[in-house]
Amino acid sequence: MTNFPYLEKPSSLREKLAQLIFVRIGSNLPPVQTVEQEASRVASLLKECPIGGLLLFNGRRGETARTLAHLQAQSRCPLLVAADIERGAGQQLIGHTMFPHAMAFDAIDEEAEEAVRLFAKLTAATARSNGIHIAFAPVADVNIDPENPIIATRAFGSEPQRVAQLVSEFVTSCQAEGLLATAKHFPGHGNTHEDSHSSLPCVDSSLGYLQACELVPFRAAIEAGVSLIMTAHVQYPQLDASGKPATLSYPILTELLRNQMGFQGAIVSDSLLMEGVKRESANEGSLAVEAIEAGVDILLDVADPVATLDALSEACSQGRLTEERIEEAFSRLWHLKELAFAERNDFINTVPVDVNFPAETGEQLAANLALSCARNAVEIVADSKKLLPLSTDRSLLTVLLKPFETDLDLAEQPLADELRKRFSQSTYFELGPNSGQAEVDEILAEAKSAEQVLVAMIVKPAAWHRFGLEEKHANLLCKLLQHECCVLASLGTPESLKPFDEASAKICTYSDVPVSQTALVEAIVNATSPSEGPSNAGRGAE
């Protein structure tokens, strides 16, 4: 292993154990906290417990980089900063570009590989310039179950070889720009009916089936040199008859991933706050010990790091965890730090890695690429009555259906303004889970006089949130579809369109991010019906 003298390696066993712990900074869930609001808590923790890294949520462009640099200066060892940035740095750093969900890349067909390469390159450069070292991306799951509530459009697709190809492209390009990539969720979360954030899913597939399907993208990621693999809080009884989730399974993590598949990088758990794994142990400390025993090297999203460190130390003193196992995990973690902090300045000032384009130019490239991908991913699924394109001179009623809302939602989605720019008479409603009958009645009254109707659904995977339409929203939708000119759009999974056979015009964008909302509006005013031209209306859009 390369030696970097400015990285002072911990010498005591307790310090090495602490390095295996990552805690979150910032939160997108109630109570919502920015990275900046959480900085003092983390600074205090660093004095008590020399943790190895941070899991970042809800940051701000520029401001978060300064916050992280300040925390790095207070840490005895350099902190690895990781983030869920499947959709680009803008997913966790407000002010940067947000890309469409991964499935949108698959939808652009032959240009997908080049788009993923550039997407990964831009994401890496932006993340590193903000003090982030690890992307918890790409999702290497194959979306086998079309009604999967937590993977769905987060996956590149449903065909193993195609997913493997795009995963490999992402890993290679991301790491070439200095950002460590993570393939997740091993050995595959794409064939589940439940969300592991709130339950313990079970996949009863044989090893042979897994080898031919779910494991294919992970093999590709390993061959591409992926630095980390994240575990799934999912049971695989055909791989481990004990019923333990993969995160706690020695047969899955050590025998399969390490010994059979030959992965030599770091194994990181999915969040230890998720119900899919929390229920398996009496407390967080015993959970951490089980995970390390199974083969996990990095304990992610630990709520009580001091108590967890005490439990790990006690397990070592009792002989349950051997020094050899701890040294093995620590060595993998430290190697990541040597990769991330290849230059002294990366630790002291969090200076961006050397990239091939200036920061502002890179941001403009990212914005252009995100919009291009969103446009090219738009698919006109049906238009049997030739309703498309809609006329900008005729009145339009738009209803956006949102099965869930978060504290970070905008007061009004970008879709509303995009429609107002193009339609001279535009009436817009958003219905969330708390919408009442009065709003429904007002919409139905507006529909009687509207010349055109657009109903857009946000049906997408999101942790701890409802997947699919609320019954009251589905009932309203059925009534609106009786309008002679009603277009139904999914700002998410294409599966959400299938129950509505009465819809003569259907569009899917595969994502609800702002650029996908823009692309939807462009599509409904410029669309070509499937029978008249390419099914992807966004291709070639200006």
CA dihedral sign, ordered 292, 297, 301, 307: positive
Could you give the CA distance from residue 537 to residue 202 in angstroms, rounded to a whole number?
38
Residue 282 makes CB contacts below 8 A (sequence gap 6+) with none
Could you give the CA distance from residue 293 to residue 302 in angstroms, rounded to a whole number?
17
Q: Cβ-count burial of 261 within 10 angstroms (0-12 exposed, 13-18 middle, 19+ buried)? A: middle
- The three-class DSSP label of residue 222 is helix
Are 216 and 160 in contact, with CB atoms under 8 Å apart? yes
Pick from 398, 396, 377: nearest CA to 537: 377
Within 10 Å of residue 328's Cβ, how many Cβ atoms?
14
Could you give the CA distance from residue 134 to residue 85 in angstroms, rounded to a whole number?
9
**Which residue numbers are catalytic?**
197, 270
Could you give the CA distance from residue 89 to residue 172 in angstroms, rounded to a whole number?
17
Could you give the CA distance from residue 388 to residue 472 in angstroms, rounded to a whole number?
27
33 DSSP assignment: B
Residue type, 413: Q
